[in-house]
A = this chain, B = another copy of it.
Amino acid sequence: MTKNRIENNDLVLICHRDKKYLKRVEEGKAFNGKGGTLSFSELVGNPFGKRYSGYEVYRPTLEDIIMFGVKRDTQIIYPKDAAFICMKMDIKYGSYLLEVGTGSGALTIMLSSFIGPEGRIVTIEKEERHFRNAKKNIERFCQNKNVEVINCHVSEYSGSGFDAVFVDVREPWLYTDNIWGFAKESGLIGMIVPTTNQISEILRAFDTHGGFGDTEVVEILLRRYKTVSERIRPFDRMVAHTGYLIFTRKLLDPTSPVPATA
């Protein structure tokens, strides 16, 4: 159960019209935004979900944290995609997950929250710079201690038996053998890529390998509407593309369409 009163050091979401700020309460200090100055001492001991000095102050959600808190040094997986990925990969209380390509750790943080204290995620990232940044984000924002971040290349990692494996690297088709090996039987595998050329490469690699089934390729579009009751209409502009999502399931006894030569 989450608590109702704001305490020193809590994260808060501060809203003023369309502006949102994720801040950590530091008693004695103040926040300055478009709506003027807000002294943090006004908040401490008082409830979330209330107007304070021209701002609305809320308990932040995971989405708020990902959008306004996570420090990005890569393109993050957006909440609209992350939510769909969690559903397709059947993430639940207690899942055992592998993430290949931690990036900034945005998806990691969402996965960590859904699987709870009994679940476990291993996330690997080959770039040391991204690894360091993601590690900080995860330490800062994951409530459960269920994440292991490893700085290694996909080809160096040798874990196996994962319920689900999510892959966010540039050329996933080079690692189909590795990915197949990571997943348990009937394990769920997901990928995100920005271009259709990459979809082609991945599907070709799946065909060649023979150990993947029930493959799907989708994209998720999110359209926002203005919230004026007498003038309902979509916003003028929208995010038109984040990435194509590919989902498949591990099949045992891969049947390579091209038989091995004698």
Contacts and interface: CB of A to CB of B under 8 A. Distances in A.
Q: How many copies does the complex hold?
A: 4
Highest count of chain B CB atoms <10 Å: which of A4, A144, A215:
A4
Interface stretch (A32-40, A59-67, A125-133, A151-159): A59-67
Contacts of A201: 229
Nearest to A116: B93
B227 A216 contact: yes
Given A49-B249, A83-B84, A221-B222, 19 more contacts: A1-B94, A47-B185, A56-B213, A56-B251, A61-B88, A62-B87, A83-B86, A87-B110, A196-B197, A197-B232, A199-B229, A200-B232, A215-B227, A216-B224, A217-B225, A218-B223, A219-B223, A221-B223, A234-B240
Which 7 pairs between the two chains have the least Cβ-Cβ distance? A49-B186, A93-B116, A238-B240, A48-B186, A83-B87, A203-B229, A196-B196
